[in-house]
Structure 1
Amino acid sequence: MIDRYLARSIAVPLIGTLVLASMLFVLDKMLRLFSFVIDAGGPVSVVWQMIANLLPEYFALGIPIGLLLGILLAFRKLATTSELDAMRGIGISFGRLLRVPYIYAIALTLLNLGIVGYIEPWARYRYERLRFDLQSGALGAAVKVGEFNRLGKRMILRIEGSEKDGTKLRGIFLQVDEKPGSTVAATAEEGRFLATDDPNTILFRLKKGRLVQQMDKFAAPRSLAFDSYDLPINLPAIDKFRGRGKNEDELTLIEVFRRGYSHRLAADDRNRAQANTNYRLVEALMMLMLPLLAIALAVPPKRSTSSLGIFVAIVMVVTYHKINQYGEQMGAQGRIDPLIALWGPFLALLALIWWMYHVVAHRPGGQPIGALERFFAKAGKLLKRFAKRRPPTPAP
């Protein structure tokens, strides 16, 4: 009964926090992606593909926070409603209560390790490939109505309007630089693009217009009025995207581990790979400490409903994440051994969390952040007194 009750109490804030954090990350990135895709002239549907490839990274960031807040809020509710005291009174220890939180922690640690070790590297590579395809025009180009659109290096197109499906264009101006010294310009009432047997060539069928051809060997430009004219257009060559593995973030955990401890690579490459390997490991294993941290900060002082523990928990996790990022950079540059730069803060945080848990679990009335609680309580009282003594503002 207690395990099911704890499981339900943890699940609701955990899932809510994870969904909320992912939505905030997506909304923050979505506007920039829409702007980037529109400026590159690509289809809007690519935005959703790019966001889908960013979701693994967002889940990897949101899962630890969700786990921490899920356990912390569940135990804080038990503490503020005196249910925790009742459980402790009948002989249920904190070790027994940690059973369900550690089931969540182990499962989510394995999930997060799978995301950062295997799913996220492939998603990051696909995201970069979509960016490259947009910039190179491999995904197609959007023709803006009423503007001069440059398609490739040799073609300029302007249209006044189009049908809803985009297959039929109206009010066309076209200029094509076929080769040095040769230019073809055309105007037409309507037209459409047609595919040919050659994948590198398309046909632009123009209706009711006039074509002007200018060449250096012509004394005067040649002009032609037509009812229907097929203008072949050579498509520009599109570069191929690079192979996977340029950055360590695009390699799976096994691949980056092999690169980091391969003696065939230069020292700089090994340092970067070793730093990335250890960064992924400490970020995942840190989640196994979160249940202890959550319980240590979930129990407020007696006759208090202070939320300081929530604030301290989030600050500790975010600060540790930033320290790991700094340690990865230092290790990649060879200034500090990657093992020291990343496992040193990990062991220091482990010792701090274990001490905090020991205080709250094994010392009667123990409060690991009691000094902070007292400081903020006194600061709050001083602010209230200052606000009461402040003279009222005279009416105009």
Structure 2
Amino acid sequence: MADLPIPSPEAAGNSPAPPSPLPVRRAPPRRRGGRPARLDRYMLAQLRAPLLAALPVLLLALLLERLLRLLDIAARTGGPLDLVVGMVVNLGPHYLGLAVPAAFFASIYVAVSRLGEAHELDAIWGTGLSLARLARPFVLLGLVLGLGGVGLYGYAQPYGRYAYRALYDAFIHAPWNVTVPAGVFTPVGSGVTVTADAAAPGGRVLQRVFVHQRHPDGTETVTTARRGQLEPTPEGGRIALLLEDGERLETLPDGRGRLTRFTEASALRDAALALPPFRPRGDDEREMLLDELWAGRAATGNAPPPATRIRSELHARLARAASLPLLALLAVPMGLAAQRSRRWHGAALAAVILVAYQHALQLGEALGDVGRVDPRPAIWGAWGIFAIFCLLVFRRANQHPSEGPFDAALEILDRGARSLGRALTPWRRAARRRRSLAAP
């Protein structure tokens, strides 16, 4: 059988079939800036542990100082401890506003210095990344904290401060529980103190009673009685002390005295069993919310609180919230410098810078409170100087990572510490010799 000719595609009038396309592998999408998000997650992971460790430690340290003072007042006045706990809780927003910036700065400082000591920064820079790219997640976190600071400084702190003052007023002027323990001087009202040599169970029937009362006009009254009994008054809400067989000595402001003997008498009709309601919020500008300060910034007159104090408080809160992103720009270069010197030297220098900035804000606010200067240029001028300083320092470190802007200052601290150590060496040796000779 003869082979049949196969017509060519051109003869058949058809074009050649195209080859099957091969699958094309596309490059993974990159974030804006040309770098993956993995680096941001890694840097934030390095920041997480120091931040979670520093924040509660600083907050508890600040609260502990105030707690000890409140417990001392409770021991002297006999105030209830449940009010102490409530006051400490309401002080949380105030001290949180101090602890968050310090913990945020310290955590970035520690994280960057650890990366430098482990040579991870060298590996990151070897890939072509800059310091600005490295610090981007820290700055973004600072912006988030700054927005949260607006809510903290503008709303949480005013409510917490007012609640603390209300509880403190109740703590200092705690209502009397209508009992007088034997042998104890018990304050039962404004300027009134009661004690008794013996008391029946319940503390309302007293034997050999002593009452001292100081009146607003300067008159003092001392009353002693063989027997006394505490009873509520008919109008309610107040207590009376019914006395039997006693004497009352009244001393006038001019020194004259008057002695009265009685068979039956009453005292303490002014002793209240319940506290009057605390004043409304807003008498102090630090208790006003951010929108209330904004609405009252243009007020005129000297009605409490004055408009000058309102404007100072408003701009001081906003400046403190706007300072949080700047801390990242300062902490990163200081963390780089810490790897070339002792870490505590950098921490001491950072503390000096931040304390000076905080005092500059407080000075502008105080001068604005008394009307000596306009608080806006005073407060925002201090913020602007600090912002320019942080930007210049970060720019210098970004251009020359191996030669940080704080190297010279840290070198001076190193030399000073070494000189101090050499000066103290003979004293340490003498102390060790004395201890060795005194040992048995």
Same structural fold, with TM-score higher than 0.5 when normalized by the shorter chain = yes
* SS of equivalent to 2:138: helix
1:268-323 alpha-carbon deviations (Å, 9 max, x no partner):
92221111111111111101101111101100277645443222222211221111
Question: Which residue of 2 is the match for residue 10 of structure 1?
Answer: 47
Q: Is contact 1:64-1:287 (8 Å) kept?
A: yes
Q: How far off is 1:359 after superposition?
A: 1.0
Q: How far off is 1:360 after superposition?
A: 0.9
Alpha-carbon separation, structure 2, partners of 1:151 and 1:390 = 58
Alpha-carbon separation, structure 2, partners of 1:150 and 1:391 = 55
Alpha-carbon separation, structure 2, partners of 1:126 and 1:145 = 35
CA 1:268–1:203: 2 relative to 1, 3 Å: closer
CA 1:111–1:302: 2 relative to 1, 3 Å: closer
Question: Which residue of 2 is the match for residue 98 of structure 1?
Answer: 135
User: Structure 1 residue 312 and structure 2 residue 352: aligned?
Assistant: no
Q: Counterpart amino acid of 2:150?
A: L
Alpha-carbon separation, structure 2, partners of 1:39 and 1:385 = 48
Q: How does 1:224-373 map to 2 (within 5 A)?
A: 234=269, 236-237=271-272, 238-263=275-300, 269-300=306-337, 304-363=341-400, 365-373=402-410
Q: Counterpart amino acid of 2:382?
A: P
Q: Counterpart amino acid of 1:156?
A: V
Q: Counterpart amino acid of 2:195?
A: L
- Select the residue among 133, 147, 152 that pairs with 1:110: 147
Q: Is contact 1:260-1:269 (8 Å) kept?
A: no
Q: Is contact 1:157-1:172 (8 Å) kept?
A: no
* SS of equivalent to 2:373: coil
Question: Which residue of 1 is the match for residue 225 of structure 2?
Answer: 185
Alpha-carbon separation, structure 1, partners of 2:417 and 2:297 = 52
Question: Which residue of 1 is the match for residue 12 of structure 2?
Answer: none
CA 1:319–1:220: 2 relative to 1, 3 Å: closer
- Select the residue among 124, 127, 140 that pairs with 2:164: 127
Alpha-carbon separation, structure 1, partners of 2:39 and 2:177 = 58
Q: How far off is 1:12 after superposition?
A: 1.7
Q: Is contact 2:94-2:157 (8 Å) kept?
A: yes
Alpha-carbon separation, structure 2, partners of 1:142 and 1:13 = 52
Q: Is contact 1:125-1:250 (8 Å) kept?
A: yes
CA 1:370–1:280: 2 relative to 1, 3 Å: same
1:79-100 alpha-carbon deviations (Å, 9 max, x no partner):
1111011111112222322232
TM-score normalised by structure 2 residue count: 0.73
Q: Is contact 2:182-2:195 (8 Å) kept?
A: no
Q: How far off is 1:156 after superposition?
A: 2.1
Q: Which has the larger displacement, 132-141 or 108-117?
A: 132-141
- Select the residue among 77, 88, 92 that pairs with 2:125: 88
Question: Which residue of 2 is the match for residue 73 of structure 1?
Answer: 110
1:185-209 alpha-carbon deviations (Å, 9 max, x no partner):
3548xx8x787885324588x9xxx
Question: Which residue of 2 is the match for residue 212 of structure 1?
Answer: 245
Question: Which residue of 2 is the match for residue 227 of structure 1?
Answer: none
CA 1:361–1:144: 2 relative to 1, 3 Å: farther
Q: Which runs of 5+ in 1 are unaligned?
A: 224-230
Alpha-carbon separation, structure 1, partners of 2:271 and 2:348 = 56
Alpha-carbon separation, structure 2, partners of 1:392 and 1:381 = 16
User: Structure 1 residue 19 and structure 2 residue 52: aligned?
Assistant: no
**Which one has the largest radius of gyration?**
2
Q: Is contact 2:183-2:195 (8 Å) kept?
A: no
Q: Counterpart amino acid of 1:212?
A: D
- RMSD between superposed Cα atoms in Å: 4.0
Q: Is contact 2:210-2:225 (8 Å) kept?
A: yes
1:101-145 alpha-carbon deviations (Å, 9 max, x no partner):
134312322222212111111211122222222333347588565
CA 1:340–1:154: 2 relative to 1, 3 Å: closer
Q: Which runs of 5+ in 2 are unaligned?
A: 1-37, 214-218, 250-259
Q: How far off is 1:173 after superposition?
A: 4.4
Q: Which has the larger displacement, 145-154 or 26-35?
A: 145-154
Question: Which residue of 1 is the match for residue 24 of structure 2?
Answer: none
Q: Which has the larger displacement, 79-88 or 130-139?
A: 130-139
Alpha-carbon separation, structure 1, partners of 2:386 and 2:175 = 48
Q: How far off is 1:337 after superposition?
A: 1.3
Question: Which residue of 1 is the match for residue 196 of structure 2?
Answer: 158
* SS of equivalent to 2:367: helix
Q: Is contact 2:225-2:246 (8 Å) kept?
A: yes
* SS of equivalent to 2:316: helix
User: How many correspondences in the alignment?
Assistant: 379
Q: Counterpart amino acid of 2:136?
A: R
Alpha-carbon separation, structure 2, partners of 1:201 and 1:392 = 71
Q: Sequence identity of aligned pairs in percent?
A: 25
CA 1:175–1:198: 2 relative to 1, 3 Å: farther
Q: Counterpart amino acid of 1:242?
A: R
